[in-house]
Amino acid sequence: MRTKKSFFKILMTFIAILIPWIIAFFLFSDSESKYTKVERLQKINYKVDTILKVDHSKFEILKQEFKRPQDVTNACLSCHNQADHEIMMTSHWKWSRPTITENGDTLELGKKNLLNNFCIGTGSNEPRCTSCHIGYGWKDKNFDFTISENIDCIVCHDQTGTYKKFPTKSGMPVTKPTKFMGKTFLPPNYNKIAQNVGKSTRANCGACHYSGGGGNNVKHGDIAQEHKNVTSEVDVHMGVDGKDMECTACHVTEHHKITGQLYSVSSENKERVTCTQCHADAPHEDEHLNLHTNKIACQTCHIPTYAKVSSTKMYWDWSTAGKHKPNGKGVVKKDSLGNLSYHYKKGSFVYGRNLSPEYVWSNGTASHHLVGDKVDSTKVLCLNKLGGDYNDANSKIIPVKVHRGKQIFDPINQTLIVPHLFGKDKTSYWKNFDWDKASKTGMDSIGLPYSGKYSFLETEMYWPLNHMVSKSDKALSCKECHAPEGRLKNLEGFYMVGRDSNSLLDWAGILMILGTLAGVIIHASIRVISNKKKK
Amino acid sequence: MKKSTYIYKSFERFWHWSQALAIFFLALTGFELHFSFELFGFKNAVEYHNAAGWAFLVLIIFAIFWHFVTGEWKQYIPTTKLVGEQINYYIFGIFKGAPHPTHKTIYNKFNPLQRLIYLGLKILVIPVQVVTGFAFLYYLYPESIWHTDGLEAIALIHTFGAFALITFVVAHVYLTTTGHTPTESIKAMITGWEIIDIDEDEYRKEQMIEAVDKGIAGYYRIDADGTLEDVNNAWLKMYKCNNRNKVIGQHYTTTRSGSDLEILTANIKKVMNGDSVNGAIVNRKCYDNTTSKHILTMSPVFIDGKVVKVEGFIIDIDNVDNK
């Protein structure tokens, strides 16, 4: 009787043990079906085109014979008579933005007072640099930013794909066929272009932004020529086989003011483009992933690699520049992928492709090294230090490309030097290969002293990655970070499961268990032996 | 005196084994996360660990409720009495076959060492594990109002707690073999039954009650007024009465007639006065008006040293073969 009864009780006990687990299991599997795909993309913020579609080819004024590109601009402005005022307030025109500094002053922050560790600075190099300015004729520091006709409307609005600015003519197109580095630039057909204008497409934006730093994908690492015809595998948003979104789908534009600011040139956390413009801020089916959004930016997991197609520049050492062969020709070397590894005008490079980002805390702010700021030559100089850390509630971990290099500086004045690189004159580095002369001209052009001594300083620059978002199944898995040698191994100041442990505690714990086990075994052995003796 | 006793109630056993399973599973998944080995996969391990944490919390809430409702919490009141003897037993006595220094009873299931260790688990280690575990899950630094400089302290305490629990489990499992036989304690925790010491007085009382309730001797009790206060089933059967209410509250005169009644009245008087009476064969008047014979005892019932009632047993002799 008793055995039957106790068997039944044991059975009931074990069924009862299982019940909470079964309930817990169903609670969990239920939570996964709570969200639908629709809810994950909660907010749709696409701006609807408010301008009526017009056929520009019907306008008489666009049928005139255009002698200069400025004539096209004047024709545009004759109807779009407020557009020039809008343009003149933008950073695309000014190459600077008003920025409120830490002490409350407003500073125009831009290329005139910021440096990078690519081609360093615009001062004295304008004709080359401003081939990417949305204007005509910015050839030196005396460019007049108030003349409306110098706005280049068509570089952003051409829909024919035929309009090209010449690389070295201060933003001007050519007037007769001209060769540059093996490519022939033709004079634009202004009538055709002016009659075929429209909203900016990725081709317009990409004309400059794909090639920042002087070549394809050099600067950004996540925006490159391949975006012209990119697959969803590479960029889930812009993939032509998928969503096929234009730049302006996210970089929402009103009155020619385009949202989005790059950390290389902007300090304040404003007018940023964010994922949550369209996506919910906790969009995962898995609650645990949603908890991560508190500290981890979307990009961190969803951009597992960058420079997926073409290589991006990771390192640039100016100090080795200037080598020539005995025959007087400059030395040029390439790596196995065909990327430059040395160029006599620019020094040594390291390019990389399919790279894993580095990770830093970011709260959306950056503090920049300005021209004239003192440098500490014993340390690596960060040109745009990103703000934020673990203890800051507004900070998240973001993926960045870090561009490192060595660039010229003045060890006496302890300032970075803006060298005069481009020009056919007697001091430009790319003609004369004399850093001293180039430094003097360059520093003169921005009104800063040069001691006559130069050296090279290690610098680094942070380029947060926001493009080339992968498909969701390619997002980082847990162990990419939650592991002792994971991607976040260099981030300090906080404890992360899987990555961190206290080895003293672990050893103490393991010894405690093993010690107990050993004690148990010894105790049991003595019991067995003493029992046998008794018998 | 030893007796097989139902010592662990069903909820208690359910709670014990659920807790064992939870600790084992939490340790397995937790250490997968901590030591980066591959078993369930990190993401699954996280989910399982969290689910098990929730299940454990629910179990703890039920267990707390059970302990207070049943009063079993008193089993865990710590004592230092016999702690030394208990340690001495584990270090020396056990090898010589010495007797256990403490005796397990249903009211004192745990030896003093068990009391201390289990209480420590219940009020220190497990609560700390639960609090740090849920902090791990839901505490968002630095948004939260309590300041802890991040998760590091929480994580280290949680890890240490896990080591402590595993250490406990190792020792605990081994110590189950130190009962009278190596598997006795585990069997007891599975079935609930264990041979343990019981209180002899308590046991006698139980047995006596059973003897009166189930025996074939009829029992009666008559108060000072002569009213029948209590009779048992055997008594009712002998008097051929199927309704106890017809008997209780009646005067004893309804149970006899003639000279038999006079003998009874005289006997009651004697006993109430403190004298003893011999057993006697008498005729009883049954409730169906027939008459039968039985033999009878009568004893006084004392309250505060005074005789206030009489009670005794009757044994039917009607069908007894006189030869």
Percentage of residues in chain A having pLDDT higher than 70: 93
Q: Under a CB-based contact definition with an 8 Å cutoff, are residues A305 and A355 in contact?
A: yes
Q: What is the mean pLDDT of residues A113-125?
A: 94
pLDDT in tens, B184-205: 899 999 999 988 877 788 788 8
Same domain, B16 and B105: yes
B149: tokens are 């400089």
DSSP string, A262-321: -TTT--SS-S---GGGTS-SS--SSHHHHHHTTTB-HHHHH---B--SS-EEEEEEGGGT
Domain membership flag for residue A147: yes
Q: Under a CB-based contact definition with an 8 Å cutoff, are residues A448 and A372 in contact?
A: yes
Taking 70 as the threshold, does the pLDDT of residue B102 lie above it? yes
Identify the band that residue B320 occupies on the pLDDT scale cut at 50, 70 and 90. low
Of A23, A513, A530, the CB nearest to B95: A530
Domain membership flag for residue A294: no
Which of A365-369, A477-481, A510-514, B240-244 shows the lowest mean pLDDT across its residues? Answer: B240-244
Tell which B residues from 157 to 176 touch A, by Cβ distance under 8 Å: 159-160, 162-164, 166-167, 170-171, 174
φ/ψ of A464, rounded to 5, equals -55, 140
- Find, in chain A, the residue whose alpha carbon is nearest to that of B177: A524
**Which amino acid is residue A235, in one-letter code?**
D
Q: Is B39 within 8 Å of chain A by CB? A: no
* ipTM of this predicted structure: 0.80
Q: Under a CB-based contact definition with an 8 Å cutoff, are residues B188 and B106 in contact?
A: no
pLDDT for position A1: 44
pLDDT in tens, A133-187: 999 999 999 999 999 999 999 999 999 999 999 999 999 999 999 999 899 999 9
**For chain B, how many structural domains are there in total?**
2
Per CB-CB distance under 8 Å, the chain B contacts of A516 are: 167, 170-171
Q: Do A505 and B159 touch (CB under 8 A)?
A: yes
For A437, half-sphere exposure in the C-beta direction (CA atoms, 13 angstrom radius) is 13
Of B33, B156, B191, the CB nearest to A6: B191
B137: tokens are 């899950």
Which domain covers residue B305, as residue numbers? 216-316
**Separation in Å, CA of A237 to nearest CA in chain B:** 27
CA dist B18 and A14 (Å) reads 9
Of A20, A21, A498, the CB nearest to B36: A498
Q: Do A502 and B164 touch (CB under 8 A)?
A: no
CATH at B269: 3.30.450.20
The single-letter DSSP state of residue A114 is B
CA dist A384 and A459 (Å) reads 10
Instruction: Pick from B6, B141, B181 the residue to mutate for testing the A interface (most A CBs within 10 Å).
Output: B141
Domain membership flag for residue B51: yes
Residue with tokens 């609930």: B192
A511 Cα distance to chain centroid: 48
Of A9, A28, A505, the CB nearest to B47: A28
Same domain, B11 and B137: yes
Domain membership flag for residue A279: no
Q: Do B96 and A17 touch (CB under 8 A)?
A: no
Per CB-CB distance under 8 Å, the chain B contacts of A505 are: 156, 159-160, 163
The residues pairing with A179 across neighbouring beta strands, listed in sequence order, are A184
pLDDT for position B323: 47
Domain membership flag for residue B322: no
CA dist B85 and A460 (Å) reads 70
Q: Is B6 within 8 Å of chain A by CB? A: no
What is the β-pairing status of strands B228-231 and A415-416?
A: unpaired
Same domain, B188 and B246: no
Which domain covers residue A517, as residue numbers? 502-535
C-alpha angle with apex B248: B245 to B251, nearest 5 degrees? Answer: 130
Domain membership flag for residue A492: no
Q: Under a CB-based contact definition with an 8 Å cutoff, are residues A494 and A390 in contact?
A: yes
Domain membership flag for residue A311: no
* Cβ partners under 8 Å of residue B126, min gap 6: B60
Q: Do A24 and B55 touch (CB under 8 A)?
A: yes
Domain membership flag for residue B236: yes
CATH at B151: 1.20.950.20
pLDDT for position B45: 95
Among A259, A279, A305, the domain-final residue is: A259
Q: Do B18 and A17 touch (CB under 8 A)?
A: yes
Q: Which of A255-264, A319-328, B106-115 has the highest mean pLDDT?
A: A319-328
Identify the band that residue A17 occupies on the pLDDT scale cut at 50, 70 and 90. confident
**Separation in Å, CA of A354 to nearest CA in chain B:** 25
Same domain, B63 and B167: yes
Same domain, B248 and B120: no
Identify the band that residue A399 occupies on the pLDDT scale cut at 50, 70 and 90. very high
- Find, in chain A, the residue whose alpha carbon is nearest to that of B38: A479
Q: Do B143 and A482 touch (CB under 8 A)?
A: no
pLDDT for position A35: 46
φ/ψ of B178, rounded to 5, equals -95, 15
Q: Is B203 within 8 Å of chain A by CB? A: no
Instruction: Pick from B4, B60, B166, B168 the residue to mutate for testing the A interface (most A CBs within 10 Å).
Output: B166
Domain membership flag for residue A303: no
Same domain, B74 and B194: yes
Q: Do A520 and B152 touch (CB under 8 A)?
A: no
pLDDT for position A32: 47
Among A193, A224, A259, the domain-final residue is: A259
Selected residue with higher pLDDT from B159 and B257: B159
Q: Under a CB-based contact definition with an 8 Å cutoff, are residues B311 and B221 in contact?
A: yes
Q: Do A479 and B150 touch (CB under 8 A)?
A: no
Q: What is the mean pLDDT of residues A86-106?
A: 92
Q: Do A13 and B162 touch (CB under 8 A)?
A: no
Among A259, A294, A316, the domain-final residue is: A259
The mean of the pLDDT values for chain B is 89
Find, among A272, A248, A267, the residue nearest to A96 by Cα: A267
Of B17, B46, B96, the CB nearest to A13: B17
Q: Which of A78-82, B102-106, B246-250 has the highest mean pLDDT?
A: A78-82
The residues pairing with A410 across neighbouring beta strands, listed in sequence order, are A415
pLDDT for position B24: 96
**SS3 (DSSP) at A256:** coil
Instruction: Pick from B152, B154, B157, B183 the residue to mutate for testing the A interface (most A CBs within 10 Å).
Output: B152
pLDDT in tens, A420-467: 999 999 999 999 999 999 999 999 999 999 999 999 999 999 999 999
**For chain A, how many structural domains are there in total?**
2
Domain membership flag for residue A440: no
The mean of the pLDDT values for chain A is 91
Domain membership flag for residue A307: no
pLDDT in tens, A35-67: 444 455 544 544 545 555 789 999 999 999 999
Count other C-beta atoms under 10 Å from residue B303's C-beta.
8
The single-letter DSSP state of residue A383 is S
Same domain, B72 and B169: yes
pLDDT for position A325: 96
Same domain, B242 and B193: no
Which of A302-316, B192-206, B263-277 shows the lowest mean pLDDT across its residues? Answer: B192-206
Q: Under a CB-based contact definition with an 8 Å cutoff, are residues B220 and B204 in contact?
A: no
CA dist B235 and B274 (Å) reads 25
pLDDT in tens, A256-285: 999 999 888 888 888 999 999 989 888 898
Identify the band that residue A216 occupies on the pLDDT scale cut at 50, 70 and 90. very high
Structural element, H or E, at residue A343:
strand A340-343
Q: Under a CB-based contact definition with an 8 Å cutoff, are residues A128 and A420 in contact?
A: no
pLDDT for position A85: 96
Same domain, B248 and B143: no
pLDDT in tens, B135-182: 888 877 777 666 667 788 999 999 999 999 999 999 999 999 998 888
Q: Under a CB-based contact definition with an 8 Å cutoff, are residues A225 and A206 in contact?
A: yes
B177: tokens are 């073999």
Same domain, B249 and B105: no
Among B171, B198, B225, the domain-final residue is: B198
- Convert A232-252 to b/e letters by CB count within 10 Å (16 or more is b): bebbbbbbeeeeebbbbbbeb
- Find, in chain A, the residue whose alpha carbon is nearest to that of B19: A17
Structural element, H or E, at residue A54:
none
CA dihedral (A222, A265, A245, A282) positive or negative:
positive
For chain B, the residue count is 323
- Convert A486-513 to b/e letters by CB count within 10 Å (16 or more is b): bbbeebeebbbbbbbbeeeebeebeebb
